[in-house]
Amino acid sequence: MNRKAACRIFFLSGILVFSTGCLSFRAQPAGIEPGARYMTSPYYEVLGDAEGISSSFRLFWFIPVMPDAGFREAVDDAVKSKGGDNLIEAVYTKERLVYIAGTVNNIYVKGKVIRYIHNKNQ
C-alpha cells in the first residue's frame, strides 16, 4: 500500500471515529440532600432555583483528559450562577455517555440557592 492510500485510510477512519454519535447513555439519580454544604446559619434568604454541572472525559475509556466529575464542582457551579452562599434541597443526577472516542461523565445538581443573613433583624 502506498503512502497516499494509507493517509486516506487514516483520515477516513479518524472521521468515522469522531463523527459517530453516542453508543450508550445511562442516567441515574445519585441522591437528595437538604443542604449541599454545611449550614453556617439558620437565617437565610432564597435567591432562586439553579442548576450546576461537573463533567469529565476519558479518551478511549481509560486516559483521563479532564479531572473526574465531582459533586462539589456541580454545587459550586449552581451557587455561583445566583451569587449565593449555599444550595438547599439539592437533587443529584449522574450521567454517563459512551462514544467510540471515549466516555463522558456528568454530574448534575438542582436546588435552591440561598444567601445567609448575618443580621436576623434585616
Given the DSSP bridges, would you call strands 63-64 and 102-116 parallel, antiparallel or unpaired? Answer: unpaired
Residue 23 scores a pLDDT above 80: no
Residue 4 scores a pLDDT above 80: no
Helix (H), strand (E) at residue 4: helix 3-19
Cα distances from 112 to residues 66, 106, 122, in angstroms, run 28, 20, 21
pLDDT at residue 115, rounded to an integer: 92
- Return the bridge partners of 49, or none: 112
Structural domains of the chain, ranges and CATH numbers in brackets: 22-116 (3.30.110)
- Return the bridge partners of 87, or none: 113
Record the cell numbers describing residue 87, joined without a space.
444550595
- Could you tell me which residue, 6 or 37, shows the higher pLDDT? 37
pLDDT at residue 28, rounded to an integer: 75
Task: For residue 8, give the DSSP letter.
Answer: H
Q: What is the mean pLDDT of residues 29-40?
A: 80
For the chain, percent of residues with pLDDT exceeding 70? 80
Q: What is the mean pLDDT of residues 18-40?
A: 73
What pLDDT digit, counting tens, does each position of 76-120 carry?
A: 999 999 988 999 999 999 999 888 888 889 999 999 999 998 776
Q: Pick from 113, 108, 87: which is nearest to 31 by CA?
A: 108
pLDDT at residue 18, rounded to an integer: 60
